[in-house]
């Protein structure tokens, strides 16, 4: 499996919170050679199951959200211009001049319009444009826009992935299709090695608006342990070094109150044994990832979090390392292969 090729297939597709069907279909196709079962639950989580060997098989849940931040049509203005609201954490400063796709009766390409500096007041030139003042231009008549577009239609950024030197990649929706790619790489490796776990690899929905899918998926699967996959902030100018991780420095293993200590130590141990570079991220509380709701489902699920360093999060030029993605996939597979009934039973003993 070529990491860039798989990632490109995933990030080129559009799928905001509540509109993940295109991503789910792609994930099903890509995972099919490496799993024995696949199903979609009632809220839209896509779940591939790779069975292990033996009678006593621990249930392991992997969770990587497949939704991306997006916009939603709020109003159609005279002239056919569109006003939008954000679904997820958009920074309006990054939107001006971007190409977009409006997912209406048929996909419509458009642009995010911007008042030229010649027409701005001195005060406007010094201020960021708020989202409520941003408009989309489809280049169509108002009549045609109203035929194609309805209130509530999703709008996603239009951007092709770019391969950079030294295994870099830049694209929209690397948050969190990079982790979905890593999960697929893990399934591929697990198919070629012996393991005793039943692996439930879940492409979750609606993480960007509160981790809805992870909670319902965990409730349905009731795994013995779970590993959430997401992105974290990569180093960049103007940001303190203790807030970011090194892009290209390897998987980021998180530790904090929400993370099970024995699972954290197990992941570190396997990374060392397999000579996989890794980094440690410390959090004082919530991780704001799928790990948080999974941990407290029913009587509680031992949970860990592995992240991929990412620059420029929630923009159309998110940037990561293909090596980091591949290393996360390999680390996941090797951690799962190391699990046995005794370790899983020991997770309940502090």
Question: Hey, which residues does 255 pair with through a beta bridge?
Answer: 282
* 327 appears as a binding residue in the annotation: no
Q: Cα separation of 9 and 140, whole Å?
A: 29
Q: Contact at 8 Å (CB) between 33 and 191?
A: yes
In this structure, is residue 306 part of a structural domain? yes
83 and 206 in a common domain: no
The set of catalytic residues is: 207
- Domain co-membership, 187 together with 51: yes
For residues 101 and 246, membership in a common domain is answered with: no
More confident residue, 336 or 131: 336
CB 50 within 8 A of CB 31: no
Dump pLDDT digits (tens) for 254-307: 999 999 999 999 999 999 999 999 999 999 889 999 999 999 999 999 999 999
Task: Tell me whether residue 38 is in a domain.
Answer: yes
Residue 325 lies in a domain: yes
* Residue 87 reports pLDDT greater than 90: yes
Co-location of 140 and 196 in the same domain: no
Tell me: do 79 and 61 sit in the same domain. Answer: no
Residues 64 and 77 in one domain: no
137-195 residue pLDDT tens: 999 999 999 999 999 999 999 999 999 988 999 999 999 999 999 999 999 999 999 99
Give the domain-ending residue among 157, 191, 211.
157
CATH, residue 180: 3.40.630.10
Q: Is residue 185 part of a domain?
A: yes
Q: Are residues 61 and 200 in the same domain?
A: yes
pLDDT confidence of residue 345: 87
**Could you tell me which of 228, 184, 236 has the C-alpha nearest to residue 207?**
228
163 in a structural domain: no
Q: Is 195 flagged in the annotation as binding?
A: no
DSSP-based three-state secondary structure for 203: strand
- Looking at the whole model, is its pTM more than 0.95? no
pLDDT at 292: 94
Number of domains in the chain: 2
pLDDT per residue over 240-258, tens digit each?
Answer: 888 899 999 999 999 999 9
Residues 263 and 267: their CA atoms lie apart, in Å, by 6
Full domain range(s) for residue 16: 3-68+172-346
272 and 340 inside one domain: yes
Residue 117 to residue 57: CA distance in whole angstroms: 64
Residues 120 and 211 in one domain: no
- Report residue 116's pLDDT band, with 50, 70 and 90 as the boundaries: confident
Residues 196 and 297 in one domain: yes
CA dist 141 → 76, 113, 144 (Å):
11, 16, 5
Residues 255 and 116 in one domain: no
208 is in an annotated binding site: yes
> Which positions ≥6 away from 292 have C-beta within 8 Å?
211, 258, 286
User: Which single residue is written with the structure tokens 């709701």?
Assistant: 293
What are the Cα distances from residue 282, in Å, to 96, 214, 252, 289, 341?
A: 35, 22, 10, 14, 29
Q: Are 180 and 97 in contact (CB under 8 A)?
A: no
Which of 291, 319, 326 has its CA nearest to residue 64?
Answer: 291
β-partners of residue 279 are 252
Q: Are 245 and 126 members of one domain?
A: no
Q: Is 65 annotated as a binding residue?
A: yes
């Amino acid at each position: 499996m070529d990491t860039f090729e798989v990632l490109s297939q995933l990030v080129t597709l559009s799928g905001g919170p509540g509109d993940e069907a295109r991503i789910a279909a792609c994930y099903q196709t890509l995972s099919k050679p490496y799993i024995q079962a696949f199903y979609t639950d009632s809220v839209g989580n896509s779940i591939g199951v790779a069975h292990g060997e033996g009678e006593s098989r621990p249930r392991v849940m992997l969770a990587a959200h497949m939704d991306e931040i997006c916009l939603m049509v709020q109003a159609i203005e005279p002239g056919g211009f569109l006003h939008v609201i954000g679904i997820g954490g958009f920074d309006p400063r990054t939107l001006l001049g971007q190409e977009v796709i409006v997912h209406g009766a048929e996909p419509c390409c458009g642009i995010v319009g911007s008042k030229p500096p010649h027409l701005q007041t001195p005060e406007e030139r010094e201020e960021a444009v708020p989202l409520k003042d941003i408009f989309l231009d489809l280049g169509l008549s108002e009549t045609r826009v109203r035929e194609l577009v309805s209130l509530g239609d999703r709008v996603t950024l239009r951007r092709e992935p770019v391969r950079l030197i030294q295994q870099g990649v830049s694209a929209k929706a690397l948050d969190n299709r990079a982790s979905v790619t890593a999960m697929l790489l893990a399934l591929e490796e697990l198919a070629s090695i012996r393991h005793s776990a039943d692996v439930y690899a879940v492409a979750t929905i609606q993480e960007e608006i509160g981790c809805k899918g992870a909670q319902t998926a965990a409730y349905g699967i009731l795994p013995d342990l779970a590993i959430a996959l997401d992105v974290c902030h990569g180093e960049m100018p103007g940001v303190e070094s203790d807030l970011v991780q090194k892009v290209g420095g390897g998987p980021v293993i998180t530790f904090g109150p929400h993370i099970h200590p024995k699972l954290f130590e197990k992941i570190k141990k396997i990374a060392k044994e397999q000579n996989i570079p890794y980094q440690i991220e410390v959090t004082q509380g919530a991780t704001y990832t799928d790990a948080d709701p999974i941990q407290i489902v029913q009587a509680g699920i031992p949970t860990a979090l592995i992240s991929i360093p990412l620059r420029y999060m929630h923009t159309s030029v998110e940037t990561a390392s293909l090596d980091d993605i591949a290393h996360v996939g390999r680390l996941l597979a090797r951690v799962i292969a190391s699990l046995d009934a005794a370790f899983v039973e020991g997770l309940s003993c502090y």
